[in-house]
Amino acid sequence: MKFGSRRYIFLILVMVFIHCSPSKSSSPDDEGIIVLAWLQQQSITSRENSIYDCSDSDGRFQTMLDSGPREVCTQCHNEELRVNDFVITNYRMVQSRTIPGYPSQSLIYLKITEGSMRNYANSSIQKGIYCWIWNGSLN
């Protein structure tokens, strides 16, 4: 969080610098584009400090499912039963229960670590889901 707020101070300084730049080479439109590009880059690179070593995770949805959910969670969250209207093999449904880059703030990770799904999740599933979200909840 501290690191995050320092980034925003940096962003404000960059905006002031662009705005006050004597060359006036950039129009207000350019400023918007520069700030947008900066924010877009932040959304990819900003994430919490990982509690796991995720270097062996490729960040793909199918790889996450292979860590255990495909076998365990599908007992209830499959296409037919759709328990709680949640299907674990449906990327959109699972992705919407995450904050990409922030597993410890994501509903699905909280559910399998301290919530009502924790008894179904072993350590492989917990790490698989953690690293998938940490890598950006990609498809």
Contact status: 110 vs ligand HEC (CB under 6 A): no
Whole-number Å distance between alpha carbons of 92 and 15: 35
Q: Which is nearer to ligand HEC, 46 or 59 (CB)?
A: 59
Contact status: 112 vs ligand HEC (CB under 6 A): yes
> 62: alpha, beta or left, given left = phi > 0 and alpha = psi -120 to 50?
alpha
Q: Which is nearer to ligand HEC, 38 or 120 (CB)?
A: 120
Residues 9-28 binding ligand HEC (CB under 6 A) are none
Q: Which residues are CB-contacts of 76 (< 8 A; sequence separation ≥ 6)?
A: 83, 84
Taken in order 59, 63, 64, 67, the sign of the CA dihedral is negative
> 112: alpha, beta or left, given left = phi > 0 and alpha = psi -120 to 50?
alpha
Residue 116 Cβ, how far from ligand HEC at the closest point, in Å? 3
Task: Pick one of 117, 127, 131, 132: the residue that binds ligand HEC (CB under 6 A).
Answer: 117
Q: Which is nearer to ligand HEC, 77 or 127 (CB)?
A: 77
Q: Binding pattern to ligand HEC, positions 66-95, x when CB under 6 A?
A: ---x--xx-xxx-----xx-x-x-------
Whole-number Å distance between alpha carbons of 95 and 106: 10
What is the Rg, in whole angstroms, of the alpha carbon atoms belonging to the chain? Answer: 20
Can you give the binding site for ligand HEC, defined by CB under 6 A? 69, 72-73, 75-77, 83-84, 86, 88, 97, 107-108, 111-112, 116-117, 120-121, 125
